[in-house]
Amino acid sequence: GAVVSQHPSWVICKSGTSVKIECRSLDFQATTMFWYRQFPKQSLMLMATSNEGSKATYEQGVEKDKFLINHASLTLSTLTVTSAHPEDSSFYICSALAGNYGYTFGSGTRLTVV
C-alpha cells in the first residue's frame, strides 16, 4: 500500500525560531501533497495544497509567509513554520494523493512552541 512518512513526530521549539516538517511518499510519487492543521478535539483543517515544482496554494486565512511550503521533488514536501509563536502550537498532518490508494496521511507532527 501507499505510505506517507512524516518527520519529526514531535518537536518543541522556542518562540521566534523556525521549524521544518518533512513529508515523504515512500513508495509512490506524489505530485500533490496537502498540509493540515488540527487543534485539540477538533477536525483537520486544510492549510495548503503543495504542488511539485510550483507554488503552493494556500487556504484563506493561512499566512503564506509564515507557513512556507516547498515541494521540490515528487516524493518530498516540507512545511516550515517561521518565527513560531505559542499560538502556532498544534498537530500538523500531511497527506498525499496516491493513485488508487486515494488520500494517504502521514502520522502527524506535534509542535509545541514555548
Rule CB under 8 A: which residues touch another protein?
4, 6, 9, 34, 41-46, 49, 91, 93, 95, 101-108, 110
Phi, psi of 15 (to 5 degrees): -55, 135
Q: Report the distance separating Cα 95 and Cα 98, nearest Å.
A: 9
Coil, helix or strand at residue 84? coil
| DSSP 8-state secondary structure symbol assigned to residue 83 | S
- CB-wise, 34 or 67, nearer to another protein? 34
* Residue type, position 23, single letter: C
Task: Pick between residue 82 and residue 89 the one whose CB is nearest to another protein.
Answer: 89
Shortest distance, position 62 Cβ to another protein, whole Å: 14
| Least spacing, CB of residue 93 vs another protein, in Å | 5
Cell of 86: 505559542
Nearest approach, Cβ of residue 15 and another protein (Å): 23
Nearer to another protein, 51 or 82 (CB): 51
For 88, the 3-state DSSP assignment is: helix
